[in-house]
Structure 1
Amino acid sequence: MRPVTHWIGSYTASMGGDALGIGAAATREDGTLEFLGLAAETSSPSFLANGVVPGIVYSTDEGSGRVEAFRRVDEFGMAALGGRAVSGGSPCHLSVTPTHLYVSNYRDGSVDVFPLDADGRIGELAQTLQGSGSGPAEDQGGPHAHATHVVGSTVLSADLGADRVHVHRVRDGALERIGTGAFPAGTGPRDFADSAGRIYLLGELDGGIYRIDDTAQTIASGRVVADWAAGDHAAALAIDEDGTFGYAGLRGSNRVAVLRIEDLSPVAAVSTGGSWPRHLVRDGGVLHVANQLSSTLTSFRLEPHTGIPRPIGRPESVPSPTYLLPVR
């Protein structure tokens, strides 16, 4: 059996999916991913994050409102280390530091802070920061925390519902909110990415892409695609190491948008070969896409000079995939 190269987050029955927990995948010689099966049975691990402690992986349980910790016990499997209930509901994103776990709760717009012990286990809830506000879109009836991003001693928090990014200073493990950056109404701030020392923010609801600083102020902005389709929802953002090209999944039209990072301009958009591209990840010169509703992974070779993805292999059947985490 090939070595595991990626863990797969998913939706189980609690969120209307067909998976049973965290999956495992290996990289074939042609660069595509092979689904190896179930690594850990757990409820709707829709987001995954590597721990600082080697072999530790954290997951959200979006359906039950929990975060869980796992330890890799062999080449293929994981053992559960236990978890904690979050303060709000629908935890959807995790950021990990050597001492803390930051959890974004979509349902009520809160961000939770959990301490981590030396073995990577999750301690009792230490702090909750509540969001507020709303936006003009149907999905913006209230605050919806969607992602955090750690920049040294600063933690940024994207609120999809309120079109804001909150800025926090870390003090003795706690977060102190020191500022907020506002974005155009209907942006829906969803995901962060960084490359070449710069921070980027993706708008789910308008397809906007923003280069921001660590005070959440906009330095430059653009669009991920020239022909934004009605009903599209942008998902994950991935940028190559040298900051040349970026990639965003477009749920609805089921495309991968390619953009030039230097001027934040759209280059192309190609079909993912599946439905509802919830997440994507670069692996060297290959881009992997998790298509949630078609229950497939698709892989693409990236043209080095244009950044355009070219399909390789066939779609790999995987139940309700929502996240791809490179093994570390």
Structure 2
Amino acid sequence: MQEHFFVGTYTKKSSQGVYQMSLDLDTGRLSAPILVAHADSPTYLARSAANRLYTVDKDANAHTGGTSAFDLSTTPATLLNHVFSDGSSAAYEAVDEKRQLVYEGNYHMGTVKSLTIQPDGSLKVADIITHHGTVGPKPEQADGPHVHFTNLTPDHRLVVCDLGLDQVMIYNVSDAGKLTLVSTFDTTAGFGPRHIVFHPTKPLAYLAGELSSEISVLHYDAANGTFTHLQTLSTIPNDWTAHNGAAAIRISADGQFVYVSNRGFNTIAGFAVGEDGLLSLRQQISTEGDFPRDFDLDPSQRFIVAVNQNTDNATLYQRNATTGQLSLLQKDVAVPEGVCVLFDPIA
């Protein structure tokens, strides 16, 4: 049986855009990547149930960036439209199937954008929020707000991670895509919140801090749309003194294990989730390359695929569902400038 997934990339060297790959569940092997959509540094992706792909994209010549919509029913995919604005490209994309919206987070511009999905799959801006506030103490935060993540909470609010402000915001979203701030959670100074995942059954969230190389456990009060801090752990050993940035965070479908990628230390850190939702470190496993921005669990939950941006390779692991332990299956699979891994649960 084959499971398909997409890889978003930078296009600074040899990459040309978005690639599709396959995982053979019987042999535990990855296929070579096939280009499916031409785009300029489509570093993050989201796919809708209507077989549309929404990607980070930009026009470097015009100094504009934002989101592009593609129809995946053709090969290569057909461009539906760009929704660009002045400034740098976006950092994150997510689809809201219920409201037929796409959410875009722009790191460099410090903006949150909601876009309405039109009947043909193209996009139209619904609302834009620009963040303001006091930045954190790290050099990466000095130039202002940096929205790094925009996705849905379990109760269909929008959660936004702002790395520059050391804040996580919750927004209400109207059916038309209008955003209204509900709450703001302040992390510790210099934490640099990057990505967040929610537990499938408990009122908990797990927040990756890029700049501090930490993971925090937060209680989520859905009644008020607020977070409360419960625990913080390091994602790297105490004796690691070279540069590291925590990047992607994933949680297993059963809520028993949380995984975080480390760029610099170049590992995936595996944490076990206790009955109380708190974490304990169980494993550090090499990504067999340099700068793993992202990884993903396949729909069967038996495998994890990571991509290493600087060494242009993907790595495949087998996952023990009982212990959460990862074991290396395949490495050095050529993938140009890989950033985002998005399994295709609809294929």
Q: Is the TM-score greater than 0.5?
A: yes
Distance (whole Å) between structure 2 residues aligned to residue 179 and residue 111 of structure 1? 15
Match of residue 17 from structure 1: 13
CA distance in 1, matches of 2:4, 2:266: 25
Cα distance per residue 1:265-315 (max 9 Å; x no partner)? 211211110110010101121111011111001011123333221110232
* Partner Cα distance (1:317, 1:61) in 2: 23
Q: What is the rounded CA distance, in whole Å, between the counterparts of 2:91 and 2:34 in structure 1?
A: 23
2:163 equivalent to 1:160: yes
Which digits, 9 at most, give the CA deviation of each residue in 1:192-251, with x for residues without a partner? 112323432111111222233153412422325351533110110011111111111100
**Mapped pair 1:31 → 2:43:** no
**Number of residues of Structure 1 aligned to a counterpart in Structure 2:** 321
**CA shift digits 1:111-135 (9 cap, x unpaired):** 1121111232101x23211112310
Q: Is 1:240 the equivalent of 2:273?
A: no
Q: What amino acid is aligned across from residue 296 of structure 1 in structure 2? A: N
Moved more, 28-37 or 252-261: 28-37
1:163-178 equivalences in 2 (<5 Å): 163-171=166-174, 172-178=176-182
For 1:3 and 1:43, locate their aligned partners in 2 and report how far apart those are by CA, in whole Å.
28
TM-score by length of 1: 0.92
- Distance in 1 between residues matched to 2:2 and 2:272, nearest whole Å: 34
The one of 20, 39, 57 equivalent to 1:42 is: 39
Q: Secondary structure at the match of 1:139?
A: helix
1:271 is matched with 286
Match of 1:313 among 310, 318, 330: 330
2:225 aligned with 1:190:
no
Deviation at 1:325, TM superposition (A): 1.2
- Report the Cα distance in structure 2 between the residues aligned to 1:86 and 1:177, rounded to whole angstroms: 23
Equivalent pair of 1:233/1:251 in contact (CA under 8 Å) = yes
State the match for 1:225 in structure 2.
Answer: 235
Question: Counterpart of 2:263 in structure 1: which amino acid?
Answer: R
Q: Is 266-275 or 166-175 further displaced after alignment?
A: 166-175
Instruction: Output the CA distance in 1 between the equivalents of 2:94 and 2:7.
Output: 17
- RMSD (Å) for aligned C-alpha atoms: 1.9
The verdict on how the C-alpha distance between 1:159 and 1:87 changes in structure 2, with shifts beyond 3 A counting, is farther
**Which residue is equivalent to 1:150?**
152
With normalisation by structure 2, the TM-score equals 0.87
Q: Distance in 1 between matches of 2:162 and 2:17?
A: 27
Aligned pair partner of 1:204 in 177, 194, 210: 210
Q: Secondary structure at the match of 2:31?
A: strand
TM-aligned CA distance change 1:226 to 1:294, over 3 Å:
closer
| Residues 156 and 36 of structure 1: CA distance in aligned 2, closer, same or farther (over 3 Å) | closer
**Residue by residue, what CA displacement relative to the aligned partner does 1:88-144 show, whole Å, maximum 9, x if unpaired?**
533000121132211101002111121111232101x23211112310111111110
Aligned counterpart, 1:294 = 311
Residues 87 and 51 of structure 1, relative CA distance in 2, 3 Å threshold? farther
Alpha-carbon distance in structure 1 between the residues aligned to 2:92 and 2:13? 18
Displacement, 1:173? 2.3
Q: % of aligned pairs identical?
A: 27
Unaligned runs of 5+ in 1: none
Q: Is the 8 A contact 1:203 1:209 kept in 2?
A: yes
Equivalent AA in structure 1 for residue 246 of structure 2: A
